[in-house]
Amino acid sequence: MGLPIYDKGFTQEEIDFGIEKYVEGVREKILIHYKNRLPNLTPCSIRIDEGSKYCKVVRYEPGKNYGTSVHSFIRKADGAILKAASWKAPALNYARGFVTESDYGLPCANEYGVV
pLDDT digits (tens, 9 = 90+) for 24-51: 999 999 999 999 999 999 999 999 999 9
* Residue count of the chain: 115
Burial (0-12, 13-18, 19+ Cβ within 10 Å), 6: middle
Beta strand pairing call for 69-75 and 54-60? antiparallel
Of residues 62 and 38, more confidence is placed in: 38
Question: What distance in Å separates the CA atoms of residue 24 and residue 99, rounded to the nearest whole number?
Answer: 12
Residue 48 forms beta bridges with which residues? 57
| pLDDT band at residue 3 using 50, 70 and 90 as cut-offs | confident
| Domain locations along the chain | 12-108
Task: Tell me the pTM.
Answer: 0.93
| pLDDT band at residue 5 using 50, 70 and 90 as cut-offs | confident
